[in-house]
Structure 1
Amino acid sequence: MTTPPQPQILRPASYVYGQWHAPKDGQTLLDAVYGRPVAVISSKGVDFAQALAYGREAGAQLRKLTFHTRARMLKALANYLMERKEDYYALNALTGATRRDGWVDIEGGIGTLFSYSSMARRELPDERFLPDGKVEVLGKAGTFVARHLLVPREGVAVQINAYNFPVWGMLEKLAPAFIAGMPSLVKPAPQTVYLAERVVRDIIASGILPEGSLQLVTGDPGDLLDHLLEQDMVAFTGSAATANKLKVHPNIVARSIPFNAEADSLNASVLGLSVQPEDPEFTLFVKEVAREITGKAGQKCTAIRRPLVPRNMVDAVVDALRKELSKVTIGDPSRDDVRMGALVSVEQRQRVQETLEKLGQEADIVIGGGVIGGQSDLLGGDREKGAFLDPTVLLCRDPLTARGPHELEAFGPVATLMPYDSLDDAIKLAKMGRGSLAASVVTFDRHEATELVLGIASTHGRVLVLNRTDAKESTGHGSPLPQLLHGGPGRAGGGAEMAGIAGVKHHMNKVAVQADPTTLAAITREHIPGAEVQEDTVHPFRKSFDQIQVGDSLLTHRRTVTEADIVNFAALTGDHFYAHVDDIGAKEGIFGKRVAHGYFLISAAAGQFVSPAPGPVLANYGLENLRFVEPVGIGDTIRTRLTCKRKIRKDLRPGETRPTGVVEWHAEIRNQDEVLVATYDILTLVERGRDEFDGPAEDAEGGEQRAEGEGAKA
């Protein structure tokens, strides 16, 4: 079999303080498949203090943009990168990864940008800050209130990434930092930096992100950490040993710089005691373990390292795994008939083999070559110069007394089977990993699933319950999602990446603001009960989205509740609850009299404040935070105050031609004594004028949704 031509030697450059710094000489990287020189990297000449200062200065412009503006930029960038994905796949094979591996990394990373763009526009206000939590009333008269706000940190998010996911690992950190308003300085691992650099080169060329939002260091980080300041932060992905060294860097400790670590962990997958070989869950377990062993050649921080199986099922599991793994073809990942490529480097293979030898002191190899057995034939690639290693499964027969399998991670296509006798033993074994990113429980028995999940939850960042019901839609044991936590306690680093909007909040500072209601409303741009309001002769429902202002208010006419109101409402709805229609029962109840239906009150209030003619208000979008505070009886008189609480601009979606926004109104219903009887928030869909963000509704939104559902898995 002929070796493909020598690829052009790449020279990945650093991008700092608005300039590209290409190395003339430096460290030579070899491709993982044939062991040929593929790239030369160096950070010689980079001034790390200047790079951090440049990022902090650029951050001032980034912070002036709103969440929604930054989110739209992120969506545009995702579309731009998706159009160039084939360029990334071409480099992906040099790292030893198959196209399927690359799909998880490349399209998964781009999908994360789509996801964060959508989440930000859906869950965050179109502001530069985020009100957090409810308003706290600090004085009896209501003139002294407080609320927490989240604002961007005024530093640089330094992001140190691992080699196994050069695209996803970078973009899953960049996305929440950018949405929060923090510029990023990315330091990829050297082994696959040429792929990360190719993506960054396109990001810079696109001109979509404000200058300074993203900087890249392709070589040694030098004295980077020495120049961090209090407003900066560090996010690290890699080995637990390296994380432990970095987090105690003297400057990081002295300045209390936030340090988020996502470290490799000895993740477990538990096959339930109730599962039999003929059950669908047995097949699901075997396939999931095999997929985690071979995906990225086992180089995943979430990979299953410790499959836990009932002792009486060990032989069946070994036989089934051997059959499944025998189907795996190994070789040049650029070939369509290859299912597993190489490790990232010969050095990495050597480290895995050394760990295998140590594991062999307490476990036996039962499947695969590893250090001892034979080796499969390669479909392309070089067995000696490349970094190939066959899938290997060990069996530790007494895992409760063993130490190595719970402490040593062979970061490659290796897993150690561990038998257990009871659910308590399975829980104990899972916890012996001292904290993990992910675990999975494979069972159709809901009681068993409950016991296992709650038993291991305290030492894991994520737990998947896999069974015949969710298997078709499940993203799998090892697939972090942008909406969910990607982190874990203990050995896993104690950090928290992604987790939806929580990942954005991680890059922001929380401050408690105390003021009078009107001042606090002006600061937060959200109406607060007790704040001054604006009333004019124009009904608020006759105003467009652009004309409505926070604090616009309407105080309605009064209405006296009659017995006929209550009887008619009961007849209309079929709600004949005794407190409304049974005079004797109501007198013996908690109210001591018949009272109006709560839903009658909000219906009557709508009749008070709605402007019935067609106009800018298109629809009722929803109702939130409803509370019935005091009963309203026959003869009581109510009126309602409706006040604009906040405004949310909506982007045009495919097929839409009328620009709209959502106006959130705060409603308060009071009785004749000015006592609050009900309070709630109403969302109305209101027509707005076109603005600079309203282009033609392209099909990209559909692509965005597909990427969220499929590509945002890594």
Structure 2
Amino acid sequence: MRLESFAAGRWVAPSGATRPIASAVTGETIAEAGSDGLDFARMVDYARDVGGPALRAMTFHQRAEKLKALAQYLNERRDSLYALSFLTGATKSDSLIDIDGGIGTLFVFSSKGRREMPDAHVYIDGDIEPLSRSGAFLGQHVCVPLQGVAVHINAFNFPVWGMLEKLAPTLLAGVPAIVKPATATSYLTEACFRMMIESGIFPEGSFQLIVGGTGDLLSRLGCQDVVSFTGSAQTALMLRSDRHLIENSVRFVAEQDSLNASILGPDAEPGSPEFDAFVREVVREMTVKAGQKCTAIRRIIVPDATVDAVIDAISGKLAKTVIGDPALEGTRMGALASAEQKADVLAKAAIIASECDRVFGDPDAFTVEGADAAKGAFVPPMLFRCADPDAATKTHDTEAFGPVSTVMGYRDLAHAVAIANRGQGSLVASVFTRDPAVARAVVLGAGAWHGRLYFANRDTGKEATGHGSPLPHMVHGGPGRAGGGEEMGGVRGVLHYMQRTAIQGSPDLLTAIGEAWVPGSREIQGNVHPFRRTFGDLQIGETLHTASREITLEDIEHFAHFTGDTFYAHMDEAAAAANPFFPGRVAHGYLLLSFAAGLFVDPDPGPVLANYGLDSLRFQKPVSPGDSIRVRLTVKQKTRRNADYGEVRWDVAVFNQNDEQVASYDLLTMNAM
């Protein structure tokens, strides 16, 4: 395979020297890659001038729909990717994590975009800030897409997921991307990327691909651009220290080395479900992807009294692990990604061995099924024992990026937390415990050092996703040694590719900017009840003012007895008057909601298909018998759901006879198009 890059709308073959890429299983050359001939300046310009405007012209929902379409397209064609994935040393289950996991990430961000972001071009961040007494001058934080390009520099271990988990939030934000995969497994990335281009789902310039070196790409970037890197701490340091990136304030996100830990809680004794789950998880994290996961368990922290039991249990399961050709059905662990990776893992394991004892796995004597161990990048799982984790230094400072992990004992929970924190920042730490006090103590003691804390016990059971599974819903990243970056995390990940801007102005201007009605801005009065108007006909700011209704004591008592809500504030005058919040007996808040609906609802069949909820409900002032209420109902925001109906968010304000606001909430309805 002579791999090609995709630049400025066309596939480009290398024009000069290329780098050979070998199969992780056989060691034979299977591809060659090179980026000579690429015009990096043109690639950046193409992203900014072609891809960026096309993406920003769409709303968040339109981009989310395209993510869903792309996920469906790849999902129907993923079988051909599995065949290539075997060449990287990945088993079928490893490939599912990479390929299906990447496609699943597209689906999740599509759903997040449609459910949690507006069908608009501006993302509203937080509530309106009143900046004047009269309400004529307000503040609002909004987020808009950066007008540059995102450069994604990905690692070798997840050639599909690594690309898609970065692309999903980037494209949803409205920012084009240039993808640079690690060369060792770039043939799998290129195959997936070809499918993405062939789909024609995203507009031209939305994403480009570099197979090979990046040349002078970084020197072309500016303050509207982002570099997102996954790989070693050494490479991350080189990139983040680039003078051009520093001088131009280029955003830099890093996800790098991580000495992740797993703690066996003091309550999880041998024979308990927590102990058994802990052992299974450690073995899985050592062998899945041959330990080539940034989230894999590198340090196994257990009570002093259970060290031997843990070593015996883990060793027993590792002894049953079949190492071999990943394409064979019975293989449990495949090869490392390359011969270079094998050499690095063995060198790092030797460093750990200088202060720890290897208790399982001999790299000079192990069996490989269906392949030649000498030609492929195979190593056995290696388990070490650290007798004195307090005196050890290299064990807490050296990551062997493969099936290598170290068991160490702790005296008490505080000691376990201190050992975990010796990693100087990680992507994830897990704790196997059923004791809530243990979980709380670990969060308070270790939360600042870990990007994610995963708690597992018999209650989470099979539904738990596992220590080493970054989920698109949750933040992926960590402090310190882990790089200080942050990816995914739902909408949080999208905002990394946007600029948060504080806007200040009148209610009318804020309404226009955010495409959501702001109290105090212009109301649109119509001759037709808004419930009689279709989704397409309704306008932001369209308002109905209702007639008034008096609240009587009979109303309050009838509601109390009919619903069973006979709380004293509604039924006992003396007790209510003694309450500092009430002047005496008052109407139920839910009675006010019911009467408010009766005032504004149009009862006949029409475009309103369903009322499916309320948001931000507040009761602001008590209503006494004899008071009257009226309602202002305003179209606040519109969100298209499909070709047949859309969501209308109504701003509802309830006032008394003195024009004092007594209640407010957002009403959500589904309206026909």
Per the normalisation by structure 2, the TM-score is 0.98
Determine the structure 2 residue equivalent to 1:409. Answer: 399
Q: Would you say the 8 A contact 1:230–1:257 is kept in 2?
A: yes
Determine the structure 1 residue equivalent to 2:334. Answer: 341
Determine the structure 2 residue equivalent to 1:125. Answer: 118
How far off its partner does 1:554 sit?
0.5
How far off its partner does 1:233 sit?
0.6
How far off its partner does 1:146 sit?
1.6
How far off its partner does 1:450 sit?
2.0
Kindly provide the amino acid, as one letter, of the partner of residue 226 in structure 1.
Answer: S
Q: Would you say the 8 A contact 1:460–1:489 is kept in 2?
A: yes
Among 389, 407, 413, the alignment partner of 1:399 is: 389
Determine the structure 1 residue equivalent to 2:509. Answer: 519
* Deviations 1:91-112, CA, capped at 9 Å, x for gaps: 1011111111110000100111
How far off its partner does 1:615 sit?
1.2
How far off its partner does 1:426 sit?
0.2
Q: Would you say the 8 A contact 1:641–1:669 is kept in 2?
A: yes
Determine the structure 2 residue equivalent to 1:699. Answer: none
Please state if 1:49 is matched with 2:49: no
Determine the structure 2 residue equivalent to 1:84. Answer: 77
Kindly provide the amino acid, as one letter, of the partner of residue 298 in structure 1.
Answer: G
Q: Which moved more, 1:590-599 or 1:459-468?
A: 590-599
- Give the whole-Å Cα distance in 2 for the aligned partners of 1:215 and 1:637: 63
Please state if 1:502 is matched with 2:492: yes
- Give the whole-Å Cα distance in 1 for the aligned partners of 2:299 and 2:522: 61
How far off its partner does 1:303 sit?
0.2
Determine the structure 1 residue equivalent to 2:139. Answer: 146
Alignment of 1:158-169 (within 5 A): 158-169=151-162
Q: Would you say the 8 A contact 2:71–2:104 is kept in 1?
A: yes
Determine the structure 2 residue equivalent to 1:698. Answer: none
* Deviations 1:559-613, CA, capped at 9 Å, x for gaps: 1111111111111111112221112222322223221111111111111101111
Kindly provide the amino acid, as one letter, of the partner of residue 430 in structure 2.
Answer: S
Determine the structure 1 residue equivalent to 2:668. Answer: 683
Kindly provide the amino acid, as one letter, of the partner of residue 406 in structure 1.
Answer: H
Please state if 1:673 is matched with 2:658: yes
Kindly provide the amino acid, as one letter, of the partner of residue 417 in structure 1.
Answer: V
Kindly provide the amino acid, as one letter, of the partner of residue 676 in structure 1.
Answer: Q
- Give the whole-Å Cα distance in 2 for the aligned partners of 1:275 and 1:595: 54
Alignment of 1:176-195 (within 5 A): 176-195=169-188
- Give the whole-Å Cα distance in 1 for the aligned partners of 2:220 and 2:607: 54
Determine the structure 2 residue equivalent to 1:620. Answer: 611
Kindly provide the amino acid, as one letter, of the partner of residue 49 in structure 1.
Answer: A
Alignment of 1:224-263 (within 5 A): 224-263=217-256
Determine the structure 1 residue equivalent to 2:129. Answer: 136
Please state if 1:449 is matched with 2:422: no
Alignment of 1:359-378 (within 5 A): 359-370=352-363, 374-378=364-368
Kindly provide the amino acid, as one letter, of the partner of residue 477 in structure 1.
Answer: H
**Structure 1, gaps ≥5 residues long:** 1-9, 653-658, 689-714
* Percent sequence identity over aligned pairs: 51
Please state if 1:327 is matched with 2:320: yes
Q: Would you say the 8 A contact 1:441–1:453 is kept in 2?
A: no
**How many pairs does the alignment contain?**
670
Determine the structure 1 residue equivalent to 2:647. Answer: 662
Among 12, 15, 20, the alignment partner of 2:11 is: 20
Determine the structure 2 residue equivalent to 1:573. Answer: 563
Among 285, 289, 298, the alignment partner of 1:305 is: 298
Determine the structure 2 residue equivalent to 1:489. Answer: 479
How far off its partner does 1:340 sit?
0.6
- Give the whole-Å Cα distance in 1 for the aligned partners of 2:579 and 2:327: 76
Find the residue that maps to 2:127 and give its secondary structure.
Answer: strand
* Deviations 1:671-704, CA, capped at 9 Å, x for gaps: 111111111111112111xxxxxxxxxxxxxxxx
- Give the whole-Å Cα distance in 2 for the aligned partners of 1:566 and 1:422: 59
Determine the structure 2 residue equivalent to 1:385. Answer: 375
Find the residue that maps to 1:437 and give its secondary structure.
Answer: coil
- Give the whole-Å Cα distance in 2 for the aligned partners of 1:513 and 1:455: 39
- Give the whole-Å Cα distance in 2 for the aligned partners of 1:589 and 1:291: 59
- Give the whole-Å Cα distance in 2 for the aligned partners of 1:286 and 1:576: 55
How far off its partner does 1:552 sit?
0.7
How far off its partner does 1:453 sit?
2.9
- Give the whole-Å Cα distance in 2 for the aligned partners of 1:383 and 1:536: 79
Kindly provide the amino acid, as one letter, of the partner of residue 537 in structure 2.
Answer: Q
Find the residue that maps to 1:382 and give its secondary structure.
Answer: coil
How far off its partner does 1:386 sit?
1.0
* Deviations 1:233-279, CA, capped at 9 Å, x for gaps: 10000111211111110011001111000112000000111112111
- Give the whole-Å Cα distance in 2 for the aligned partners of 1:110 and 1:624: 32
Please state if 1:276 is matched with 2:261: no
How far off its partner does 1:114 sit?
0.8
* Deviations 1:42-75, CA, capped at 9 Å, x for gaps: 0001111111111101211111011111111111
Q: Would you say the 8 A contact 2:60–2:121 is kept in 1?
A: yes
Q: Would you say the 8 A contact 1:646–1:663 is kept in 2?
A: yes
- Give the whole-Å Cα distance in 1 for the aligned partners of 2:261 and 2:578: 59
Find the residue that maps to 1:253 and give its secondary structure.
Answer: helix
Find the residue that maps to 2:427 and give its secondary structure.
Answer: strand
- Give the whole-Å Cα distance in 2 for the aligned partners of 1:488 and 1:601: 48
- Give the whole-Å Cα distance in 2 for the aligned partners of 1:352 and 1:195: 23
Determine the structure 1 residue equivalent to 2:31. Answer: 39
Q: Would you say the 8 A contact 1:367–1:392 is kept in 2?
A: yes
Determine the structure 1 residue equivalent to 2:470. Answer: 480
- Give the whole-Å Cα distance in 2 for the aligned partners of 1:669 and 1:396: 67
How far off its partner does 1:624 sit?
1.0
Kindly provide the amino acid, as one letter, of the partner of residue 678 in structure 1.
Answer: A
How far off its partner does 1:192 sit?
0.2
Q: Which aligned segments of 4 or more residues in structure 1 are displaced greater than 6 angstroms?
A: none
- Give the whole-Å Cα distance in 1 for the aligned partners of 2:18 and 2:584: 87
- Give the whole-Å Cα distance in 2 for the aligned partners of 1:468 and 1:376: 35
How far off its partner does 1:454 sit?
2.6
Determine the structure 2 residue equivalent to 1:706. Answer: none
Q: Would you say the 8 A contact 2:540–2:638 is kept in 1?
A: yes
- Give the whole-Å Cα distance in 2 for the aligned partners of 1:524 and 1:84: 39
Per the normalisation by structure 1, the TM-score is 0.93
Determine the structure 1 residue equivalent to 2:168. Answer: 175
Kindly provide the amino acid, as one letter, of the partner of residue 441 in structure 1.
Answer: V
Among 570, 575, 588, the alignment partner of 1:597 is: 588
Find the residue that maps to 1:680 and give its secondary structure.
Answer: strand
Kindly provide the amino acid, as one letter, of the partner of residue 663 in structure 1.
Answer: V
- Give the whole-Å Cα distance in 1 for the aligned partners of 2:236 and 2:634: 51
Find the residue that maps to 1:259 and give its secondary structure.
Answer: strand
**Structure 2, gaps ≥5 residues long:** none
- Give the whole-Å Cα distance in 2 for the aligned partners of 1:643 and 1:561: 23
Find the residue that maps to 1:651 and give its secondary structure.
Answer: coil
Q: Would you say the 8 A contact 2:128–2:138 is kept in 1?
A: yes
Q: Would you say the 8 A contact 1:23–1:40 is kept in 2?
A: no
Find the residue that maps to 1:281 and give its secondary structure.
Answer: helix
Q: Would you say the 8 A contact 2:122–2:513 is kept in 1?
A: no
Q: Which moved more, 1:176-185 or 1:505-514?
A: 505-514
* Deviations 1:504-534, CA, capped at 9 Å, x for gaps: 1110011111111112112211111111101
Q: Which moved more, 1:297-306 or 1:73-82?
A: 73-82
Kindly provide the amino acid, as one letter, of the partner of residue 385 in structure 1.
Answer: K
- Give the whole-Å Cα distance in 2 for the aligned partners of 1:443 and 1:141: 55
CA RMSD in angstroms, aligned pairs only: 1.1
Kindly provide the amino acid, as one letter, of the partner of residue 55 in structure 1.
Answer: A
How far off its partner does 1:449 sit?
2.1
Q: Which moved more, 1:77-86 or 1:170-179?
A: 77-86
Q: Would you say the 8 A contact 1:264–1:302 is kept in 2?
A: no
Please state if 1:651 is matched with 2:665: no
- Give the whole-Å Cα distance in 1 for the aligned partners of 2:129 and 2:253: 31
Kindly provide the amino acid, as one letter, of the partner of residue 605 in structure 2.
Answer: P
Determine the structure 2 residue equivalent to 1:464. Answer: 454
Q: Would you say the 8 A contact 1:331–1:381 is kept in 2?
A: yes
- Give the whole-Å Cα distance in 1 for the aligned partners of 2:199 and 2:165: 19
- Give the whole-Å Cα distance in 1 for the aligned partners of 2:509 and 2:180: 43
How far off its partner does 1:307 sit?
0.6
* Deviations 1:335-370, CA, capped at 9 Å, x for gaps: 111111111111111111111111111100001113
* Deviations 1:215-238, CA, capped at 9 Å, x for gaps: 000001111111111111100001
